[in-house]
């Protein structure tokens, strides 16, 4: 099985989700596998997820799976990856504690701005996820033999983005 196969590269993540040409894409390297397991596997279902990975590893993607991968999965995953590594880009853990990344020429975003900016990536990824599910449903409605392993087995884990929990 292709358990450790990356669905995309850090260069693809940068090209799909980050507008800054000078951004160091190596931040993404450690988040690709974990993000695809956390977000992509849960929406595709284990069998279809494994089929996609096996086809990527063997360079045998079907036309349908290639379209789904390039048009929906990669844009979705790119935004989930940026969301997951956003804190790492913002704050570095050192032997002296958590340090904010800062230079003499930039200002750090405030807490609310940071939260809004990070939420942008989650919301964009969620858009791509919903769009992908709609696309697959439409294709399956027209031809029930398409995407037989896709079962949208779960929603993506919800994240408490604001740090507030309300009880009723």
pLDDT tens per residue, range 11-25: 999 989 887 777 777
Q: Of 124, 110, 3, 17, whose CA–CA distance to 56 is shortest?
A: 3
Is 22 among the domain residues? Answer: yes
Is 159 among the domain residues? Answer: no
Is 106 among the domain residues? Answer: yes
Query: What is the pTM for the complete model shown?
Result: 0.78
Is 5 among the domain residues? Answer: no
- Please tell me the distance from the alpha carbon of residue 145 to that of residue 37, in angstroms, as a whole number: 26
Is 77 among the domain residues? Answer: yes
Is 50 among the domain residues? Answer: yes
Give the pLDDT score at 120.
83
User: Hunting for tokens 């988040």 — which residue is that?
Assistant: 31
Number of domains in the chain: 1
For residue 151, name the pLDDT band (cuts at 50, 70, 90): confident
Determine the structural domain holding residue 75 and report its residue range.
Answer: 10-142
Is 147 among the domain residues? Answer: no
Is 155 among the domain residues? Answer: no
* Angle (CA) 21 156 73, round 5°: 45
- Please tell me the distance from the alpha carbon of residue 98 to that of residue 17, in angstroms, as a whole number: 26
Q: What is the pLDDT averaged over residues 149-153?
A: 75
> How many angstroms separate the first and last alpha carbons of the chain?
46
């Amino acid at each position: 099985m292709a358990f450790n196969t990356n669905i995309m590269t850090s260069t693809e993540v940068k090209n799909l989700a980050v507008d800054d040409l000078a951004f160091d894409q190596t931040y993404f390297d450690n988040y690709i596998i974990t993000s695809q397991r956390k977000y992509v596997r849960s929406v595709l279902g284990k069998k279809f997820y494994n089929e996609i990975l096996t086809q990527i590893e063997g360079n045998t993607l079907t036309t349908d799976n290639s379209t789904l991968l390039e048009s929906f999965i990669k844009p979705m995953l790119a935004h989930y990856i940026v969301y997951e590594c956003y804190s790492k880009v913002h704050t570095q853990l050192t032997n002296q504690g958590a340090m904010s990344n800062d230079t003499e020429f930039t200002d750090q975003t405030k807490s609310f701005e940071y939260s809004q900016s990070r939420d942008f990536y989650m919301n964009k990824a969620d858009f791509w996820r919903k769009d992908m599910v709609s696309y697959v449903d439409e294709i399956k409605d027209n031809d029930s033999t398409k995407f037989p392993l896709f079962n949208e087995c779960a929603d993506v884990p919800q994240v408490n983005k604001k740090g507030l929990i309300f009880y009723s």
